[in-house]
Structure 1
Amino acid sequence: MKYLITVLGLLIVFGLSYLASNNKRKIRYRPLIIMIILQVILAAVLLNTFVGAYLIQGVSSTFEDLLGYAATGVDFVFGGVLNEGQFSFFISVLLPIVFISALIGILQYIKVLPFIIKYIGLVLSKVNGMGQLESYNAVASAVLGQSEVFISVKKQMGLLPKHRLYTLCASAMSTVSMSIVGSYMQILEPKYVVTALVLNLFGGFIITSILNPYIVDKDEDILEVQEEEKQSFFEMLGEYIMDGFKVAIVVAAMLIGFVALIAMINGLFSGIFGVSFQQLLGYLFAPFAFIMGVPWKEAVEAGSIMATKMVSNEFVAMLELSKHSNLSNRTLGIVSIFLVSFANFSSIGIIAGAVKGLNEKQGNVVARFGLKLLYGATLVSVLSAIVAGLFIK
């Protein structure tokens, strides 16, 4: 039964992508098949083998150590704020982003990250059949973040046609930045976070190749990465530390606003209709939860969490998921995979704003296809959850 639902889910995801495709005749099926097979193999290795468990344990331990180092700095500044045994989401989950951001800055400065990103992107371009620029951007988005990644390709930004610009933005919405991964691991099981990161990378190419198919000419496919302005080491470090702090503050502000608004809307709906807004959304998203592999008896509850992510952000939904301890391990795993991406309404504004800051005309183009970006990124999350569901018991 599980395999039948998986096949049904894949057919629905590909069908919805095909229906929204802007050029059905240009879809190339060979790269799609290769990437789907790779997704299944990678999910099997990460979730169902000793090697995968070892890799995930290594990644998890690394982030655990990094968060421990970050806690030293946080405790020095805020150590007296909390009473013993209390927990603060801002202090314990968000502020460590400052340290991770500083570490990313150092790796950028010593040219380690640019080297890794560029050559992984080049290898991926051979697999996905897309351009080098698109492949570089997908990997860079997973490291630098959905706003910062565009700075590294700003020389090409004004020259890109609409279809290539869409692919770059879709990658930024389908992945999550490395600076925030440690925060996710404090709420979700690390193995689901790592698996989602890998599956979303290929899932983004798969869905985009259907929604927005094209062939890049060799003379157009020049990967020229913008070098950051030369700074001293401590200028760079100060800038990345402040960037990390800004991310923590922005996420905190959005959490305050969205959690409060959802609570208010739930209260209004419960008073008027006898059912909360999240429960109502749960019924709408339940079929998608079911085709992802969630048992039908838990589909409405899971659908409510999925919808919460789309209308607010992934942090709000992750915190909501942590309250549902009654859900089965299978449902918790599948929904966790779905939640690890930036696919929500607020990301449309973030990405359009980032591009507009570099090129106003292109920023307006991004704003016009914003809903299609969210549509595609949500399908990527569903696809990753379906594939992972094959190996989650």
Structure 2
Amino acid sequence: MKYIIGIIGLIVVLGLAWVGSSDKKNVKYKPIITMLILQFILGFILLNTGAGNYLVGGIAKGFEELLKCAGEGVNFAFGGLVNDNQFSFFISVLLPIVFISALIGILQYLKILPFVVKYIGLVLSKVNGMGKLESYNAVASAILGQSEVFISVKKQLGLLPKHRLYTLCASAMSTVSMSIVGSYMVLLQPRYVVTAIVLNLFGGFIISSVINPYTVTEEDDILVVQEEKKQTFFEVLGEYIMDGFKVAVIVGAMLVGFVAIIAMINTLFKTVFGVDFQDMIGYVFSPFAFLMGVTLNESIQAASVMATKLVSNEFVAMNLLSSGSVHLSARSTAIVSTFLVSFANFSSIGILSGAVKGLHEEQGNVVARFGLKLLYGATLVSVLTATIVGLIM
């Protein structure tokens, strides 16, 4: 039965993407089918094989060691602020972002990351039927983050037509930056985080290929990556450390605002309607959770977590899922967890348009205009990933 529901879910996701397509007649089905098959193969390997478990276990252990190292720095600066056996979200989950960001800066300075990103992007461009720029951007987004990635393609921003700009932004919203992956692994099982990152990479291309189909000519398919200005090692290190701290503070501030607003709305809804706001949106989104593979009796709770991510951000939803107040089976937890690993939420529209506008004002306005369509596509990417995980588990 789960396979029938899952296949219906896949059809619904792709159908919703097709409904929102800007050029239904020119959708390229061959690369879409190829990437769907790749998603199933990679998802199965990562979740259901010994080799996949070994790989994910190695990645998780690596991040665990990195987080221990980060903890040394955090405890030195902020030790004593939290009582023994007490948990601080900001100190334990967000501040390690500073250390991971510093490591990314070191790998950037050594030219290791640019090399990896460029050549993985070139390989992807052979599979997805899109341009080298789109493929590079998708991989770079997963390393640098949804705002910072546009700096590396600054030279081409002003030359991009609307449809190519949409794909770049959709990739940035569908992936997550490496600097916060460790923080996700504190709240979710690492294997779900790794699986979602891989599947979202292809899912972003699949949904964009349906919603926003186009062909890139060879003369337009030129990848020009902005060279970083020459800096010393310690200048780069200091810059990335400060960038990591800014991210931690910004996410922390957003959590304060969103959690407080949701608490206020829950109180109002409880007073007026006798039901929490999160329970209400859970009822609205529960059919989608069911089609992703969540059992009917768990669909309302699962949908409530998913919708919380959409209206606030992924950290609020992950904290809700890991808090113990939501009780789901292992399979439903896997589906919900992989859905949460992306930047697909309303606040990302402002973040993306602001990032692009800072580099090219006119293109930033273009991003703002198709912001809701961008969120629509990125959310479908998350639904597609979760549905595939539901079929595999």
- Under TM normalisation by the shorter chain, which class is it? over 0.9
Aligned counterparts of 2:327 and 2:39: Cα–Cα separation in 1: 29
Aligned to 1:65: 65
1:126-165 mapped onto 2 (5 Å cutoff): 126-165=126-165
**What is the CA deviation profile of residues 327-368 of structure 1, one whole-angstrom value per residue up to 9, with x for unaligned ones?**
111111100000000000000000000000000000000000
1:325-344 mapped onto 2 (5 Å cutoff): 325-344=326-345
Aligned to 1:3: 3
The question of 1:347 aligning with 2:363 is answered no
The question of 1:271 aligning with 2:271 is answered yes
Whether the 8 Å contact between 2:31 and 2:129 is mirrored in structure 1 is yes
1:86-105 mapped onto 2 (5 Å cutoff): 86-105=86-105
Offset, 1:326: 2.2
| TM-score, reference length from structure 1 | 0.99
Offset, 1:269: 0.4
Stretches (4+) displaced over 6 A:
none
Amino acid at match of 2:40: V
Offset, 1:83: 1.4
Amino acid at match of 1:261: I
Offset, 1:325: 4.9
Whether the 8 Å contact between 2:105 and 2:236 is mirrored in structure 1 is yes
Aligned length, in residue pairs: 392
Aligned to 1:383: 384
Aligned counterparts of 1:82 and 1:261: Cα–Cα separation in 2: 25
The secondary structure found in structure 1 opposite 2:223 is: coil
Whether the 8 Å contact between 2:320 and 2:326 is mirrored in structure 1 is no
Aligned counterparts of 1:263 and 1:82: Cα–Cα separation in 2: 24
Amino acid at match of 1:178: M
**What is the CA deviation profile of residues 292-341 of structure 1, one whole-angstrom value per residue up to 9, with x for unaligned ones?**
00001110111111110000000000011113452111111100000000
The secondary structure found in structure 1 opposite 2:392 is: coil
Offset, 1:152: 0.1
Aligned to 2:320: 320
Offset, 1:391: 2.2
Aligned counterparts of 1:125 and 1:328: Cα–Cα separation in 2: 38
Aligned counterparts of 2:306 and 2:242: Cα–Cα separation in 1: 32
Aligned counterparts of 1:40 and 1:337: Cα–Cα separation in 2: 14
Amino acid at match of 1:259: V
Aligned counterparts of 1:327 and 1:7: Cα–Cα separation in 2: 22
1:1-393 mapped onto 2 (5 Å cutoff): 1-323=1-323, 324-392=325-393
Offset, 1:26: 1.1
Amino acid at match of 2:246: K
Offset, 1:12: 0.2
| Structure 1 range deviating more: 79-88 or 27-36 | 79-88
**What is the CA deviation profile of residues 22-67 of structure 1, one whole-angstrom value per residue up to 9, with x for unaligned ones?**
0011111000000000000001000000000000001000100110
Amino acid at match of 1:341: S
Amino acid at match of 1:342: F
Amino acid at match of 2:367: V
Aligned counterparts of 2:316 and 2:133: Cα–Cα separation in 1: 33
The secondary structure found in structure 1 opposite 2:134 is: helix
Whether the 8 Å contact between 2:335 and 2:386 is mirrored in structure 1 is yes
Offset, 1:103: 0.2
* RMSD value, Cα: 0.6
Aligned counterparts of 2:391 and 2:14: Cα–Cα separation in 1: 17
| TM-score, reference length from structure 2 | 0.99
Aligned counterparts of 2:259 and 2:360: Cα–Cα separation in 1: 33
Amino acid at match of 1:317: A
Q: Which runs of 5+ in 1 are unaligned?
A: none
Aligned counterparts of 1:177 and 1:3: Cα–Cα separation in 2: 32
Amino acid at match of 1:182: G
Aligned counterparts of 1:2 and 1:312: Cα–Cα separation in 2: 30
Aligned counterparts of 2:261 and 2:362: Cα–Cα separation in 1: 33
Aligned counterparts of 1:288 and 1:325: Cα–Cα separation in 2: 18
Aligned counterparts of 1:304 and 1:389: Cα–Cα separation in 2: 18
Offset, 1:79: 1.1
Aligned counterparts of 2:383 and 2:132: Cα–Cα separation in 1: 26
